[in-house]
Structure 1
Amino acid sequence: MTIPISTIPVQQLTPRQLLAASLLAEGRTARQGTTSCHSEAVSLNAMLRRAGRQLGVIGGPAIVHTLYRAQQLPRPARAVLMADLSETQREVWRYVASGVTSARAISDASAKSAKRLSVKAARRLLSDLKFTVGAESNAHLVTLGWKYGVVDESVNVVAAALLSPTAGSE
């Protein structure tokens, strides 16, 4: 079950949180982003966790997607995807943007579609997809999804409360 972002209040993040999220969207790790933010990797991760709690989502891909939807991060310029992707690959790409990023969760989510994926197939498909489009991480995959028009406002984000019963209770 997904909850449309319009039902989740999207709070304005701090400039440092937005900078950390933009680095994540570019495919950088917390360690790589420490130079740009003049901060430690632990601090960047803490900023991103706090941003996720404020947005009501869990994980970098859902944070990036939510910020693109709310236009708090500048959306990437559109481009044409040269790779020929199957509908299953595009569906997995949208799962990642919605916050469903583990192979098991993708497998479970795919049970509702025409083609159920095994955990092993979901893991391989996600890995192949990132390689094909040059994504450095799942969050970067979301950015590339926006760039190539595979991901847009129509992809709903799974609310943190639905992903984890302890979400937000830290």
Structure 2
Amino acid sequence: MSTRLNRLPATLPLTPAQLRIVRRVADGASTGTIASELTITVGTINVQLKHCGQKLGVSGRAAVVHACFVTGQLQRPEPAASRDTFSETEVETWRMVAIGATSQEFADRARIRRDTAVGRVKALRERLKAENDPHLVTLGWSYEVLDESLTEMASGTTLHVPTSR
């Protein structure tokens, strides 16, 4: 029996230091690069990102980035100048990454094999030249494939969208 609580925690604001880290993660920077830029350790980056996830009620770096965009804690990226079109499969893949679904959760929801789910994420990252999954989420917001309507996270948390926008 799972001990994971399925409640809706209040989204807590991230600190300015946490937001500096999340902004760099959203831009696709690696943990080592962020640590070097901010002159802090890789361990500190990892701990701060874990705390960010706890405050937001999500799991995973991509979900932290998405949650920060939804809750208005990170400035949303400018819309992409190019208007590419994306298949339903690509949009579904983007959404699964954004909500923090594991590859197995994605596979189960999409009724596909786990390796197929992994392949879909990899293919989308390659198509868009995304550095990693958090960067893929940022690009999803830029292409307006992702937005504040996606609030149901894989963790069971429902994100709170600010009303004063």
With the length of structure 1 as denominator, give the TM-score of the two structures.
Answer: 0.82
1:165 corresponds to: none
Aligned pair count reads 150
Verify the 8 A CA contact 1:69 1:152 in the aligned structure 2: yes
Tell me, which stretches of 5 or more residues in structure 2 are unaligned?
Answer: 1-7, 158-165
* 1:153-164 equivalences in 2 (<5 Å): 153-158=148-153, 160=155
Tell me, which stretches of 5 or more residues in structure 1 are unaligned?
Answer: 1-6, 111-115, 163-170
Among candidates 118, 126, 146, match of residue 131 of structure 1: 126
- Percent identical: 33
Change (3 A) 1:161 1:134: same
With the length of structure 2 as denominator, give the TM-score of the two structures.
Answer: 0.84
2:162 corresponds to: none
2:73 corresponds to: 72
Change (3 A) 1:79 1:29: same
2:160 corresponds to: none
- Find runs of 4+ consecutive structure 1 residues off by over 3 angstroms: 80-84, 159-162
* Cα distance in 2 for residues equivalent to 1:81 and 1:57: 31
* 1:82-121 equivalences in 2 (<5 Å): 83-100=84-101, 102-110=102-110, 116-121=111-116
2:33 corresponds to: 32
Secondary structure of 1:85 counterpart: coil
* Cα distance in 2 for residues equivalent to 1:159 and 1:9: 16
- Alpha-carbon distance, 1:38 to partner: 1.7
Verify the 8 A CA contact 1:27 1:137 in the aligned structure 2: yes
* Cα distance in 2 for residues equivalent to 1:161 and 1:84: 30
* Cα distance in 2 for residues equivalent to 1:8 and 1:159: 14
* Cα distance in 1 for residues equivalent to 2:135 and 2:66: 10
Aligned-residue CA RMSD in angstroms? Answer: 1.7
